[in-house]
């Protein structure tokens, strides 16, 4: 596995642990629809949370959360619609970004709730 992929997996594990400690129920990990992968699908109270995880070793090229652009947001919205339909769910949806930056081999986790509001949902 490449270093880039290893870092991404490490970040997703940290994000899962972080959300579970905050009382989220993890429903799916790396759920796929067509070309889109949703990193984490969770439930928090009565809300379905779609969490995109971005992990970096530094901020030289910008903060990790800046990598979730308009196209990614649209793709996540479409995949989320499919997830809701397949699972016959009618509930509020929130799109979060979990940004993880490693500094001196220690992770800094920044959880952005309601990070974006796609029009498709």
Could you list the beta-strand ranges (E) of the chain.
Answer: 25-33, 36-44, 47-56, 92-103, 106-116
The confidence score (pLDDT) of residue 1 equals 61
Mean pLDDT (whole number) for 101-120:
87
The proportion of the chain whose per-residue pLDDT surpasses 70, expressed as a percent, equals: 87
Identify the structural domains of the chain with CATH numbers, from first to last.
Answer: 3-116 (3.40.1350.10)
| Cα 15 from Cα 96, distance rounded (Å) | 11
110, β-bridge pairs = 99
100 within 8 A of 15, measured Cβ to Cβ: yes
For the ranges 31-40, 69-78, 80-89, which has the lowest average pLDDT? 69-78
Mean pLDDT of 53-65: 73
Q: Does 119 have pLDDT greater than 70? A: no
Predicted local distance difference test score (pLDDT) of residue 103: 85
Calculate what percentage of the chain has a pLDDT beyond 90. 68
Kindly tell me if the per-residue pLDDT of 36 is higher than 70: yes
State mean pLDDT over 103-111: 91
Higher pLDDT pick, 121 / 7: 7
pLDDT at 84 over 60: yes
Phi and psi at residue 64, to the nearest 5°: -55, -40
What is the reported pLDDT for 6? Answer: 83
| Mean pLDDT of the 59-79 span | 79
């Amino acid at each position: 596995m490449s270093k880039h992929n290893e870092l991404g997996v490490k970040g997703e594990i940290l994000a899962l642990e972080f959300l579970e400690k905050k009382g989220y129920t993890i429903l799916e990990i790396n759920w796929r629809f067509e070309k889109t992968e949703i990193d984490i699908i969770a439930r928090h109270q009565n809300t379905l949370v779609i969490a995109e995880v971005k992990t970096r070793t530094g901020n030289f090229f910008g903060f990790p959360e800046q990598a979730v652009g308009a196209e990614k947001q649209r793709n996540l919205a479409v995949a989320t619609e499919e997830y809701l339909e397949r699972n016959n769910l009618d509930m509020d949806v929130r799109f979060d970004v979990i940004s993880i930056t490693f500094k001196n081999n220690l992770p800094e986790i920044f959880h952005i709730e309601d990070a974006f509001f796609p029009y498709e949902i």
